[in-house]
Amino acid sequence: MKDFYDGSFPGGKTSVFTVANSGVGLPMETSKFEKFNQEQYDAIYKKLADGEITLIQFSEDNNDPTKDLTELANTKVTFVE
C-alpha cells in the first residue's frame, strides 16, 4: 500500500509477499491469542525470515502465482468494508 501511495507501485508485475521481504505479518496488538505473546511471535518470524525454518508446501503449484487457480472456482469470498 505504501508503494501505491508513494507512486512507486510496480503495476503489471506479479508480487509475492513473504516473511523474507516483510510482506506478511500478524498484528499482535489486535490478536486474540491468549497463550502466544509478542516475544514468541518475533522469535518465530525471525527464524522464518532467516530461513532457519520453512513452511511445508502441500503441492508444487500452490505458491506459484503464474498457475491458474481454477480449483478455487467454488470458493466463497465475503468482503467487509
Q: What is the mean pLDDT of residues 11-27?
A: 83
Domain ranges, ordered by start, for the chain:
1-81
Identity of the residue numbered 16: V
The CA-based dihedral angle spanning residues 71, 73, 78, 81, taken in that order and rounded to the nearest 10 degrees = 100
Specify the pLDDT at position 5. Answer: 92
Is a pLDDT exceeding 80 seen at residue 40?
yes
Reported confidence tier of residue 56, pLDDT bands at 50, 70, 90: low
CA dist 41 and 79 (Å) reads 27
Reported confidence tier of residue 6, pLDDT bands at 50, 70, 90: very high
User: Do the beta carbons of residue 23 and residue 74 sit within 8 Å?
Assistant: no
